[in-house]
Structure 1
Amino acid sequence: MAGGAGAGAGGAAAGQATAAAGDVPILIAEFPLNRLYTARGESKLFEIYVTDGAGRPLVSVTEGKEVSGGGTAPGGFADLLPKSAQTAGTREYAASGVPMLAAYSPVGDLGLFTIVQIPKARAFEAARQLVTRSLLIAGVVCVAALALVFLFASSLTKSLIALTRATEQIGQGQFGVQVEVKGGGEIAALAARFKRMTEELSTREAALKDANQRLMESEKMSALGQLGAGIAHEVKNPMTSIRGYAQMGQRKLPDGHPLGEYFRTIVRETDRSLEILKNLLKFARQETAEMSIIDLNTVVSDTVKLVSHQLMMKDVRVEARLCEQSLQVSGNANQIEQVLLNLFINAGDAMEGKGGGTITASTDMPDALTARIRVADTGSGIPSEVVKKIFDPFFTTKPVGKGTGLGLSVSYGIVKEHKGEIAVESKVGEGTTFIIRIPIARQASEGVAAAAPAKEKRVRVINLR
């Protein structure tokens, strides 16, 4: 038997030769091993053998080298190869106690077999490595996913905690709270809606406080008016009697009598007291004025003309800036004129002897249902503590004997009787502005609403010097 023909042989041949009489025939085969070397080079994990039909190894290719005699497979492959049929197959078996995975295939009609085997442990090593890598990659992915989930949950939780705290602050009446949420999504949209809600609540709270303040002011004035009306009724009759008896005694005294001066003083002071009682009754709105449709522009213009000369004597100039559109309201022209006269005279008294100044009376329509009169002066302004009490009866900052403190109180009552509002804005050193709002008459408001698309405003200026 000869094994191990040259590796570069280009073909295979077989034949029989007889050496001498009685000798056993010998099979001589030649076949190329280059394919075996190539297959072995592609994967160094496999062992490749060529055996005879009995499983005895003839050629072994290991690490790219040819080994003859089957020294690498003690015991041969008798247990691996099939007993009868010349077929290919695969099997698991133990070689010297080592579990192996093997594949075999017959080589032509020579009765030879090619066997490729690998230790079972090495065969599954790649699978184990693949499983290990897969588990490692899966672990890394899980950790990264958990980190992302944690970051997202932390951001979400932080935003929800901020919204919860803001809700608690709003429940305590702190409507100015702001919630900052970065990014987008539903939480950011919720935060934006929450911000709009807080702004609306803040606006409504301010409006509610303003309405509550006006209500308290109205109730206070109403209570003071009722008290004043009761006092006026109780005091007016005895004061009238005192004045009558004083006048009677004055007429019966001869000229130059010493008691005459006393009677004249009594008459003068009772007249003054009766005038105060009259104003007090007006403040209490015990006298109901007759209402009709009037034009506020006309009332303001007439009042400016009436008072301008008197204020010029105090070096105070009066200007009227009237809305081009007619401002028709339901009211009493004499009473509105009385309110404006009070405001003009008070402003003139405040600026008298201080280098003069300017009083500006303007009219406009802040909306289709309201007429507004603004009386602004360039005086020294009113301190905030005085503004709070400026409409209280008998409150005055004028010297004793120059004011009763009922002028603005009466004006307040007149405006309320016209279903309007009067307010004051003042800043020390910058002047004072009184704002009067009176509802537009219904027929006039309907005409204004029809003409609403043309929002052009014009001002007519009357400068009286």
Structure 2
Amino acid sequence: MVPRIKLGLKLRVFLSVALFYLAALGTLTYLTIRSQKNLLLEQMGDRARTAINLMELSVAPPLYKWDIRTLRIVVVEAKSLRGVEYAYVFNAEGRIVADFHEMEEELFSVFTDEFGQRAIKSDETLVDVDHKKGILDVSKPVILGHEKLGGIRLGFDLKPMFDEMKQVTVKALLIAAGIFLLGLLVIFGIASRMTSPIEQLTVAAKHIEAGDLQYRVSLKRSDEIGSLASAFDQMAERIMHREGELKQSQDLIRRADRLSSLGMLTAGLAHEIRNPLVAIRTFTQLLPERYQDPEFRNSFQAVALKEVDRICSLINDLLNFARPSTPNVSAEDINEIVEGIVRILETEAREKEVQIYRRLASSLPKIFIDKEQIKQVSMNIILNALQSIEGRGVVEVSTRLFTKNHSDQYIQIEIRDSGAGIPGGDLENIFNPFFTTKKDGGGLGLSISHQIVQEHGGYIVVESQVGKGATFFLNLPVRPPNQQEVKDHP
């Protein structure tokens, strides 16, 4: 299938008008050349009629008297006429009685060609063009009183006329070509003037689409296009104003969401820290009584260190959630990130007898992300998938490009496992801080992952069926560099 060639508006306007102009100019040139040719033929015909009429005056008396000698003299004199190729005088029966070639074999013979047969039968002057031989054939009957004595037939060479016609044609084509080229320049100027404002509007629309809301068209025209440009600039001004209002609203929502999350974090952190502190407090109360017991001291040391490490881990997770690291955005290949994580986790997967399958789409575009943050998200979810499988199982990691809302492109990382799955009641809570189904989990991993993906302008979708596993879809937008926004939380 031949691919369609996309033509710009200026080129389409230019080609449309140019083709119409070419057709009109070509038609006019053709009609001019044809008219000139007909004019030359008409002039040649008039000259031939004049010559044969004059010759008739000299032929009629000797033909009536059957004076063959005089007829031959008259015919031979026809050689002096410019361009005459042949001259015949024939009697009423159509037999040649005089020929300026003076060929004896033609005397008293009858014309066998089409034009000769018509000349014999006709009672009026005939003018025909023999295009094959390039001859203008003229015949006229010789009538005296009411009696047809015979006729005269002359042939004129059309080659000089054809040569002149060629010169006229060449001149006409050269003039037409010059006019056409000049017309093309005029058409191009008109097309440029017509389409230039539209091209400026197109460029402005692309700037607005790319996020440059300060770009303006500023066309100084009093026609409809000028009104359109003015309306476009006003629309861009309103969009920029609304964008500012929207950002303010988003900041307020983000702060409110942060306060809400911090409230949940405070409650969760108090609950999570209480348990290790209770254990440490209990051992501390018993320490004076059992200080001399080496086994007790060793147990106390192990428990205290373990619980302190747990508190430190909770605090670190809390800090990561509340104040994520400054993003370092660059163009990255998502397949390379996923491939690197899978290689790291393959050893652990083999120990658990879990197979990791990769289905990575080829030719994915690079996207502007914080590589370390997205690596952290992918690592966390793939690791959760491995830990959800008891015994043998499978984890599938796929990447693909898809389009949302007919225009927004996303790269999707799909992580599917054959684990126990997530109960329906837990699905809506898995991204809440400190929510976990693990015995030793802190409940902040998925919350942080969800936050990072949102800060990249993406979103996470989870599907699960108890007993058949869960599937996480990480969707990251594909945007030009000036559109990618990765922000710190306030």
Does the TM-score normalized on the shorter chain lie above 0.5?
A: no
What band does the TM-score fall into relative to the shorter chain?
A: 0.3 to 0.5
**Higher alpha-carbon Rg:** 1
TM-score relative to the length of structure 1: 0.40
TM-score relative to the length of structure 2: 0.39
In terms of fraction of residues, the more helix-rich structure is 2
